[in-house]
Amino acid sequence: MNKFFGWFAITLLIFSCKKDNTRYFPTPYFLQIPSHFPDMMIPADNPMTVEGVELGRFLFYEKRLSGDNTQSCASCHLPSASFSDPNQFSTGIDGIQGTRHSMAIINIGWEDFFFWDGRETTLESQILEPVANPIEMHQSWKQTVEKLNADVTYRNRFFKAFGEEGIDSTKATKAIAQFVRTLISGESKFDVMYKYENNMNLTSDEQAIFQSVDAEEWAGYDLFKSLNGADCFHCHNGPLMRVKKFSNNGLIPHATDDKGRATVTNNPEDNYKFKVPTLRNIALTAPYMHDGRFTTLDEVIEHYSSGIHMSPTIDPLIEFGSQGGVQLDAQEKYLLKKFLLTLTDQRFITNPNFQDPN
């Protein structure tokens, strides 16, 4: 009996501080942040790793995340469309359409709130939603994890990404978030214009791009910033080409009467306010607005020029709303569009690291 206690005690001592048998230490991943961008805040509980980003990329394109194995994240966030959906509304696996346009995934690592109404405040929690959503991928996370667990390559990828065995929804969303944080766009012609305007040094490559900016594009940029011109900069400025806010930009409510931010806050002061999106790659992310009502940039420009609908919660920065908009003439509309096209970053949509790994 005494021997038993003795061995018991020794065993207890040995196992009390025992580490897991099998561990893997993922490789830190260093984001390539453009020099004129702020730092990206990475959540402490989801550090970027090479293995995590790779896993996230596989999961982003993984159709087994949907109930009938037909849809992945990329089905509604196409790389060719700057990770948005060219359709007005995305259609889920059961043929049901949503009521809002899929937002473009560009520089999303700098965002503090997600979806058009900002109902999620972390990227990881945002990613959790579409899989289980009955009008989107319509599959419980339990089923999703079972499918992934049945695949030895995923078991290995999860092990390498998180340094331990096991698959769950938290790890899956963390990995996708890691991949999505790498989707950084900062190499458009506009970036060179922005750096020049802010007295920042240009590389030799950027010098060459700078020389290619024509007078019409500069004139369009001036209009974009001009208070008496297009007056766009109040909501779309800085290197990320957006401000962090919700805004009612003077759209006439549709039949669905989507009240936007107010559906989250229940505050009538937030009626018809939606998240201000980035204008980066705007030429690639049609259709436009939260409900995809405009199919072309010309329609968008016309809205701000003459189509503003006044309402109690309209953004005070829509300063010419009472006269219908900023009243651009044909030449000004042309120049403004020329500038908007400088926001296209072809390297972003063709980056091989962002494409389907399969």
Please tell me the distance from the alpha carbon of residue 242 to that of residue 239, in angstroms, as a whole number: 8
Residue 274 · residue 254 · CB < 8 Å: no
Closest C-alpha to 345, from 208, 194, 186: 186
| 44/330 with CB nearer other proteins | 44
Which of residues 21, 41, 95, 211 is near other proteins by CB under 8 A?
41
Beta strands in 172-290 (DSSP E): 246-247, 274-275
Output the CA torsion sign for 115, 118, 120, 122: positive
Residue 108 · residue 183 · CB < 8 Å: yes
Residues 274-313 that bind other proteins (CB under 8 A): 310, 312
- Find the shortest distance in angstroms from Cβ 41 to other proteins: 7
Using CB under 8 A as the binding rule, whether residue 210 contacts other proteins is answered as no
| 55/235 with CB nearer other proteins | 235
| 150/310 with CB nearer other proteins | 310
Of 96-104, 117-125, 193-201, 288-296, the window that binds other proteins (rule: CB under 8 A) is 193-201
Of 80-88, 139-147, 192-200, 249-257, the window that binds other proteins (rule: CB under 8 A) is 192-200
Please tell me the distance from the alpha carbon of residue 211 to that of residue 188, in angstroms, as a whole number: 14
Which of residues 269, 323, 327, 356 is near other proteins by CB under 8 A?
269
- Find the shortest distance in angstroms from Cβ 124 to other proteins: 19
Using CB under 8 A as the binding rule, whether residue 43 contacts other proteins is answered as no
Using CB under 8 A as the binding rule, whether residue 44 contacts other proteins is answered as no
Of 22-30, 64-72, 152-160, 233-241, the window that binds other proteins (rule: CB under 8 A) is 233-241
Using CB under 8 A as the binding rule, whether residue 25 contacts other proteins is answered as no
Using CB under 8 A as the binding rule, whether residue 252 contacts other proteins is answered as no
Residue 106 · residue 185 · CB < 8 Å: yes
Using CB under 8 A as the binding rule, whether residue 334 contacts other proteins is answered as no
Residue 358 · residue 61 · CB < 8 Å: yes
Please tell me the distance from the alpha carbon of residue 265 to that of residue 270, in angstroms, as a whole number: 7
Tell me the HSE value of 142 on the side-chain side, using a 13 A CA sphere: 0
Which of residues 78, 202, 243, 341 is near other proteins by CB under 8 A?
243
Residues 131-170 that bind other proteins (CB under 8 A): none
Of 98-106, 166-174, 223-231, 324-332, the window that binds other proteins (rule: CB under 8 A) is 223-231
Find the largest Cα–Cα distance for the chain.
Answer: 97
Residue 308 CA: distances (Å) to CA of 238, 297, 315, 320: 24, 16, 11, 9
Which of residues 238, 253, 307, 324 is near other proteins by CB under 8 A?
238
Which of residues 58, 61, 110, 154 is near other proteins by CB under 8 A?
110
Which of residues 28, 47, 316, 357 is near other proteins by CB under 8 A?
316
AA identity, residue 284: L
Using CB under 8 A as the binding rule, whether residue 80 contacts other proteins is answered as no
For the chain, the straight-line distance linking the first and the last C-alpha, in angstroms and rounded, comes to 61
Question: Scanning the structure block, which residue is given the tokens 């690639």?
Answer: 284
Using CB under 8 A as the binding rule, whether residue 260 contacts other proteins is answered as no
Output the CA torsion sign for 217, 301, 282, 118: positive
- Find the shortest distance in angstroms from Cβ 94 to other proteins: 39
Which distant-in-sequence residues (6+ apart) come within 8 Å of 3 by Cβ? none
Please tell me the distance from the alpha carbon of residue 102 to that of residue 126, in angstroms, as a whole number: 13
Compute how many residues bind other proteins; rule: CB under 8 A. 44
Please tell me the distance from the alpha carbon of residue 313 to that of residue 8, in angstroms, as a whole number: 71
- Find the shortest distance in angstroms from Cβ 267 to other proteins: 8
Q: Which two tokens stand for residue 66?
A: 């949907």
Which parts of this chain interact with other proteins (CB under 8 A)? 2, 5-6, 8-10, 12-13, 16-17, 35-39, 41, 110, 194, 197-200, 225, 227-228, 233-234, 237-240, 243-245, 269, 310, 312, 314, 316-319, 321-322
